[in-house]
């Protein structure tokens, strides 16, 4: 059965990070659902960090977003979008629920910030956009690697648009295997020597 992933989006989400994750996972046969996190109940799309406007598959509903329904929860970066998403109490509860359920993972690109829900994710190994390294390095086991899988195997983090492809391929590897990852890379035509696997 195809794996299922929930990708959150909000005004200010980094549109390349969102789109690269979503598209790459779909190419790998993983079912993606994007859910809009917004204070406005009438919002129809997210205006992303550089102005691209994306219509979500659904509006974020905590009771339909849990680890009994999806294999992974993804939070893209983009400072303002990550802030909106990670400061939503229901998202913090979800991050905790995905951590508690065996076999489920949480992926965060560039800006976990307070998506840890205070003490939700503990002192795990992680990375982030370099601009928020100073906020995180005291509390977490901070790494400068492009993609970091924590020792628990539950948390996958990355740094920015430039690491969004390696991040997406790591998610494919974890959800569908290294064979599927390599099969997905081929038709995307990366220049020879592009580092994609971490």
* Residues 88-127: x where in contact with its own copies by CB under 8 A, - otherwise, as a string: ----------------------x-----------------
Q: What angle do CA 171, 177, 181 make, to 5 degrees?
A: 65
Binder of its own copies out of 4, 29, 45, 141 (CB under 8 A)? 45
Nearest to 32 by CA among 21, 42, 48, 44: 21
Stretch that binds its own copies, among 10-18, 66-74, 87-95, 171-179 (CB under 8 A): 10-18
Q: Roughly how many angstroms between the first and final C-alpha of the chain, as a whole number?
A: 26
Residues 6+ apart with CB under 8 A from 154: 98, 99, 104, 105, 106, 121, 124
Does residue number 159 form part of the binding site for its own copies (CB under 8 A)? Answer: yes
Residues that bind its own copies (CB under 8 A): 14-16, 19-20, 22-24, 26-27, 32, 34, 45, 48-55, 57, 110, 129-131, 146, 159-163, 165-166, 185, 187-195, 198
């Amino acid at each position: 059965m195809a794996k299922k992933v929930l990708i959150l989006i909000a005004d200010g989400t980094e549109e390349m990070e969102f789109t690269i994750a979503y598209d790459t996972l779909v190419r790998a046969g993983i079912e993606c659902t994007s859910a809009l996190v917004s204070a406005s109940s009438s919002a129809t799309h997210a205006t992303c960090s550089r102005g691209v406007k994306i219509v979500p598959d659904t509006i974020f509903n905590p009771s339909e977003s849990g680890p009994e329904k999806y294999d992974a929860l993804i939070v893209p970066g983009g400072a303002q979008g990550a802030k909106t998403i990670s400061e939503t109490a229901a998202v913090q509860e979800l991050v905790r629920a995905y951590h508690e359920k065996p076999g489920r993972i949480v992926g965060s690109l560039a800006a976990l910030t307070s998506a840890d829900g205070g003490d939700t994710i503990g002192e795990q190994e992680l990375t982030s956009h370099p601009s928020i390294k100073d906020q995180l390095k005291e509390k977490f086991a901070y790494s400068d690697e492009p993609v970091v899988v924590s020792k628990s195997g539950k948390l996958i983090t990355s740094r920015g648009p430039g690491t969004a492809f390696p991040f997406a391929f790591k998610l494919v590897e974890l959800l569908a295997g290294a064979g599927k990852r390599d099969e997905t890379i081929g038709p995307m035509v990366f220049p020879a020597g592009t580092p994609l696997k971490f």
